[in-house]
Each structure stands twice: as structure tokens, then as C-alpha cells.
């Protein structure tokens, strides 16, 4: 009789399980199992959790989302005017191109990348901000820029969902909290109001989305990002939404940890460090 060590590596619900057994054997055909010595269990690192598109992947919220999705084994396609090195794929568009040209490029490029597959989620967090009332010399220029940075990506994301989003997939747009008149930044306000109108139309019958699509819009107030701190160094940051908290919340909507408030806008505000999510 002699002792043998046998290692068995097998899969169970997406986990790698390595079991080491000590056995006694008197020949190769008669093996008597004595005991399991130990188990080593590790999550498979190469198992794909899902496929997600992030519009605005080079912005503060987009970058934060892509980092988190990467850590959780998602295939991420970033769409925007700049590439994101962390993304699995990048589709770079130019604001000098028309909405139609950008949209056709995004649909064509994503279809090529997918090779017959579909996305689990399409998230639009693209944005920007410009001050400017009617008296500003560059008012028309900045208003046009806001439409290109805020409304156009939302339109393309919504159209893309009709082509390359799975049935039961997730679509999310981004508006702004407590939107009223914006005399000091008219272009921004118009663009966000248009996104709100787009979402309300999506939430109505006859929208054209894939079967059982889950969809919502987030309406955040000011998010605590490094760029916002640089732009407003004297602001009270305790009234701003923590970037990590918002990132985690969106991720949990996407992966199903949190139920999507179907067809709802969710207003997000922070007061004295306490962040609230209110369905409208």
C-alpha cells in the first residue's frame, strides 16, 4: 500500500474548485479514498459577466463606471469624443460630425464588435457644462455645444438600444435634478430638458424598444468630481453626490442587484453628506 495525492480541478457555477485528496492505493485500479485534505476555490477571472456600452466613457462618471465594470469582468465599450484606455473597446466620434453620421458610425461599429451578440446594458452618462446667457457673445456656439455633448449621445444611445440591446436589457439616460429655468446657462438647460422629454417619450407606448427592456433615467445634482472641485473650489462639497456612491448605484442597477425603477426618473441629491434617491 502506498499513499497517493490526487488533485481534481472542476467547475461549479462559474467557480474554479481545486480539491486535493490523500488516498491509499495498492494498485492503479483499486483506489480507496481516505479524506479530502483541503479545497481551494477561486472565481473564474475569464468568465464574462456581461456586455455594456458607456456613452461618455472619458468623463468623470464614465471613467469611474468603466473601472468598476472592468473589475467585475464586464466587456465595456466606451463611446465618446475621447478614448478610455481601460475600456475593452472604444468608438471615438467627433462633435464636428452630424448626429446622423455619428449615429450610423456607432451602430455600424458596435454591430461589428458584437459579431451577432447583443449588449446587456447601454448607459448614457455623457455630458458637459457651459455658462452663458443671451448676452454672451458665444451664446449660440455654447448652446450648440451643449446639444452635441448632452442631447446627441442620448439620442444615439436610445437608437442603439433598438438595434443592439438584448431583450430584457437595460437602458439608462442622464438628466439633471430639479430642472427649472436656467437663465445663466441656457444651452445646458435646453439640452437637459430635451433629454427629459426624450425619456418621457421612451416611457410612453409605441417607443420601439426591444421586448421587456428595463429603462430609467438618473437626475443627479452636482457630482463630487475632481473637475467640479477645480471649477468650484469654494463650494460646500458635503452637498455634492459622492462619485463612488453614484457609480456603485448605477452598477447595481445594471447587474440586477437593485431592481430598476421601470420607466422612472430618479432624482439624486445630497444634503450634509446624506444622499437620497427619489423616484419621480
User: Which residues have a catalytic role annotated?
Assistant: 188
CA angle 239, 154, 122 (to 5 degrees): 90
> Is residue 156 within 8 Å of residue 200, measured between CB atoms?
no
Label residue 179 exposed, middle or buried (CB < 10 Å: 0-12, 13-18, 19+).
middle
> Is residue 164 within 8 Å of residue 116, measured between CB atoms?
no
Strand (E) positions, the chain? 2-12, 15-25, 31-43, 50-55, 74-80, 89-92, 119-124, 165-174, 214-220, 223-224, 241-242, 265-271, 274-279
Report the alpha-carbon distance of residue 261 to residue 272 in Å, rounded: 26
Report the alpha-carbon distance of residue 96 to residue 85 in Å, rounded: 23
Q: Mind spelling out the 3-state secondary structure of 98-122?
A: CHHHHHHHHHHHHHHHHCCCCEEEE
Angle between the N-to-C axes of helices 186-202 and 139-146, in degrees from 0 to 180, rounded to the nearest 10: 30
Amino acid at each position: 500500500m502506498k499513499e497517493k495525492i490526487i488533485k481534481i480541478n472542476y467547475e461549479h457555477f462559474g467557480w474554479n474548485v481545486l480539491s486535493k485528496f490523500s488516498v491509499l492505493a495498492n494498485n492503479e485500479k483499486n483506489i480507496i479514498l481516505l479524506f479530502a485534505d483541503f479545497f481551494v476555490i477561486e472565481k473564474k477571472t475569464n468568465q464574462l459577466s456581461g456586455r455594456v456600452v458607456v456613452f461618455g466613457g472619458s468623463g468623470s462618471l464614465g471613467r469611474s463606471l468603466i473601472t468598476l465594470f472592468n473589475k467585475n469582468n464586464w466587456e465595456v465599450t466606451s463611446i465618446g469624443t475621447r478614448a478610455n484606455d481601460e475600456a475593452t473597446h472604444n468608438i471615438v466620434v467627433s462633435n464636428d460630425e452630424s448626429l446622423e453620421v455619428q449615429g450610423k458610425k456607432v451602430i455600424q461599429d458596435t454591430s461589428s464588435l458584437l459579431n451577432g451578440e447583443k449588449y446587456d446594458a447601454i448607459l448614457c452618462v455623457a455630458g458637459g457644462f457651459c455658462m452663458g446667457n443671451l448676452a454672451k457673445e458665444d451664446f449660440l456656439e455654447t448652446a450648440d455645444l451643449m446639444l452635441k455633448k448632452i442631447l446627441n449621445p442620448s439620442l444615439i444611445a436610445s437608437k442603439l438600444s433598438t438595434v443592439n440591446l438584448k431583450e430584457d436589457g437595460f437602458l439608462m439616460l442622464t438628466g439633471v435634478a430639479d430642472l427649472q429655468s436656467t437663465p445663466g446657462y441656457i444651452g445646458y438647460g435646453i439640452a437637459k430638458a430635451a433629454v427629459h422629454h426624450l425619456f418621457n417619450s421612451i416611457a410612453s407606448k409605441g417607443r420601439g424598444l426591444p421586448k421587456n427592456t428595463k429603462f430609467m433615467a438618473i437626475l443627479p445634482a452636482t457630482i463630487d468630481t475632481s473637475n467640479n472641485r477645480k471649477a468650484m473650489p469654494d463650494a460646500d462639497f458635503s452637498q455634492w453626490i459622492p462619485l463612488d456612491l453614484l457609480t456603485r448605484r448605477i452598477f447595481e442597477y445594471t447587474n440586477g442587484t437593485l431592481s430598476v425603477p421601470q420607466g422612472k426618473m430618479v432624482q439624486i441629491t445630497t444634503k450634509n453628506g446624506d444622499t437620497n434617491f427619489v423616484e419621480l
